[in-house]
Amino acid sequence: MSTLEKTEKEQAAPATIQQLSGSQAVLEALIHEGVDTIFGYPGGAIMPIYDALYDYNDKLTHILVRHEQGGIHAAQGYARTSGRVGVAFATSGPGATNLVTGLADAMIDSNPIVCITGQVFASLLGTDAFQETDVINITTPVTKWNYQVTDATEIPSVLAKAFYIASTGRPGPVLIDITKNAQLQLFDYHGYEFCNHIRSYRPKPIVRNEYVEQAAQLINEAKKPFVIFGQGIILGKAEQEFKTFIEKGGFPAATTVMGLSALETDHPQHVGMLGMHGNYAPNVMTNECDVLIAIGMRFDDRVTGRLDKYAKQAKVVHLDIDPAEIDKNVKATVPVWGDCKETLPLLTDLIKRVDHSKWLQQFRELEKEEIKEVIYDELNPTSEVLTMGEVINVLNELTGGNAVIVTDVGQHQMVTCRYAKFNSSNSNVTSGGLGTMGFGLPAAIGAWYGAPKRDVVAIIGDGGIQMTIQELGTIMQFGAKVKILILNNEFLGMVRQWQQLFHDKRYSFVNITSPDFVAVAKGYYIDGNKISERKDLRDALKTMLDHDGSYLLEVMVGKENNVFPMVAQGTSVSEIRLK
C-alpha cells in the first residue's frame, strides 16, 4: 500500500473512541480549554478527580491551598491578571460551602471562574449523607450558571458550556457539581468540542447603530462632557479603543475602583477616582457636567451617593455589555448596548475632535484644593507617625507604577486605590462590590500565577490578613513570589473611622490585637521585617521588592488616621467632605 493510499485510509477511518472515566474527562476538558493552574483542596467526594490528577501532573499545575475560600480567591486573582478563566476544586459539603463567599465576590465583580465540586453518590442525594449539601440551590444566587452532573457522559459538553458562559459576555463564576459515581463511571469518550453557542444565552446584545448615532449627537453638542469608566474596559480588552475615544473627544475621564489601571494614572485626561473615598474633583463635577458618558460601569451606590441627587442636570450615555445594568440605578438618556470594544470605535468615528481644555482645567483647579487640604499632608506628614499614603507613595517611586497591586478591604484599600500608580492594565486586583476581608493574600497568590514575571504586591490591613493568614502555607509550599505589605493601625480601621465620625467615637469592638506577623511568616519560612519609623521606610520597601521570593513587611501606621475625602452615606457626591 502506498503512503498516499495509507494516508487516505487513515483519514477516512472514524476517530478512535477512548474509554475514559468521568474524572479523566474533567481533566481533559481543562487541558483543551487551556487551563494550566488549578487551586484546590481534596476531600472524599472529589477524590476520584484527584486520583486522576495524579497522572496529569505534567500538564496541569495544582496549587494546594489551605482553605477553599483561599482557593477561589486565588482563582479570582489569577483571572484578573491573566485575563483567562480561573479554576478552583473543592469537595462536597463544607468544601463547597466554603466557596460561597468567593463566588459572591466573583459574581458582583464579574470574574470568570469555573469551580468544580465533588458530590456524594447520586443514589444518596437528598438523604443527608455525610458531607452532602444542596450546593446547586445554595450557589444559584451567586453564580452565572451552575449544574449538577450525575452521568459522566455529560461531562465534556457541560464543562465546555461552563467555560463558554464564564468567559463570554459579562464574565462571571460558574459552578459544576459532579457526583462521585459520575467521576468513577467509564464511558465512550468521543473527544472534546468547544462550545460557541447556547440557544438561550446571548452573551453580547445586538449593537443598535441608531443609539450610537444618538449618543454621538449628544456628545458633540456637549459643553461639559465627562467620562466615567469601569472594569468593563479591562474585561473587554478595550483599553486602546477607550484611550482613542477620550483623546479624540478631549474628555476628562474618571475611574471607578474596579476600573483602575484601564487608563494609565498619569494620562493627562485622567482626573482621578470616583466614589465614597474618591477624588474631590470627579465627585463634585459629576453634578456639574452636561453629558455624563458611563462606560463599562454599573453605577454602584459607592459611586453615586444619593441617587435622587446624582447628575440630575446631565444627559446620560451608558455603554454596557449587560442590558440589565442600563436603567437599573441611573436612567440613561441614550443606552448603548454591546461590548465596548465594538461600540467605542463606532462612537469614536462619529464624535468631533473638540478642545475641552477649559472644562478639564476646572477639574485641575479642584484637584489643587484637594492637594492642599488632603493629599499633601497625607504624602508629606509632619508628625512622627507614618501614614498609609506616604507608604504607597514611596512604593510608587520604587516600582515605577509597574507592579500588580492586590488589596484586601478597609482603609488601606481606599488609600492604595487613591495613591497607587498604574502604567498598564490588569494591575489592580481588589474586592470591589462585595468588599471581602481576607481576599488580599490568596488573591495575590493567584495573581502571581497569572502574571509570574511581574512584581505582585499584596497590601493588607492587620484585620484582613488574619482572616486568611493560613495561605502563607500555600506560599511556603509552592513558592509564589508575593510581596506582602501589612499596614497595621491596630484597628479595624474603616469601621473605626465610621464610629468616630457618625457614632460619637464609640469604638465598639474595633481594637484588634495581632500576633507578631514577622514571626508568623518566619514560621512559614518566609522572610520579613517590621518598621515604625520614617527613616527606615524606603530601605525596608526596597529590601522587600528586591528579595528573591516571598517577603512580609509590616509597617506600623497612625492608629486613628482617617481616609479623606469622603462622601458620607445618604449624601450627594457634591457634598463630599475634605476633612
Do the Cβ atoms of 102 and 114 come closer than 8 Å? Answer: no
Do the Cβ atoms of 481 and 547 come closer than 8 Å? Answer: no
Selecting among 180, 341, 421, 483, the annotated active-site residue is 180
C-alpha span between 404 and 455 (Å, rounded): 6
DSSP string covering 70-99, please? HHHHHHHHHHHHHSS-EEEEE-STHHHHTT
130 is catalytic: yes
C-alpha span between 361 and 355 (Å, rounded): 11
Q: Where are the beta strands (DSSP E) in 266-360?
A: 270-273, 291-295, 315-320, 334-337
Selecting among 467, 494, 544, 566, the annotated active-site residue is 494
494 is catalytic: yes
DSSP string covering 503-529, please? STT---S-B-----HHHHHHHTT-EEE
Output phi, psi for 566, to 5 deg: -150, 130
Selecting among 8, 59, 130, 352, the annotated active-site residue is 130
C-alpha span between 2 and 243 (Å, rounded): 59
Q: Which of 114, 345, 359 is nearest to 251 (CA)?
A: 359
SS3 state at 475: helix
Selecting among 18, 47, 121, 131, the annotated active-site residue is 131
Do the Cβ atoms of 52 and 79 come closer than 8 Å? Answer: no
Q: Which of 237, 262, 412 is nearest to 341 (CA)?
A: 237
DSSP string covering 530-561, please? EE-SGGGHHHHHHHHHHSSS-EEEEEE--TT-
Q: Which cell is 402 given? A: 509597574
Q: Which cell is 85 given? A: 478563566
C-alpha span between 421 and 419 (Å, rounded): 6
DSSP string covering 404-464, please? EEEE-SSHHHHHHHHH---SSSS-EE---SS--TT-HHHHHHHHHHHSTTS-EEEEEETTG
Q: What secondary structure letter does DSSP report for 13? A: S
CA-derived radius of gyration, the chain: 25
551, with CB counted inside 10 A (0-12, 13-18, 19+), is buried
Which amino acid is it at 234? I
Contacts of 301 (CB under 8 A, 6+ apart): 307, 329
Selecting among 24, 28, 39, 68, the annotated active-site residue is 68
C-alpha angle 493/436/517, rounded to 5°?
55
Q: Which of 121, 138, 139 is nearest to 129 (CA)?
A: 121
Number of other CB atoms surrounding residue 232 within 10 Å: 28
Which amino acid is it at 365? E
502 is catalytic: no
Q: What secondary structure letter does DSSP report for 380? A: S
Instruction: Catalogue the active-site residues.
Output: 68, 130-131, 180, 494
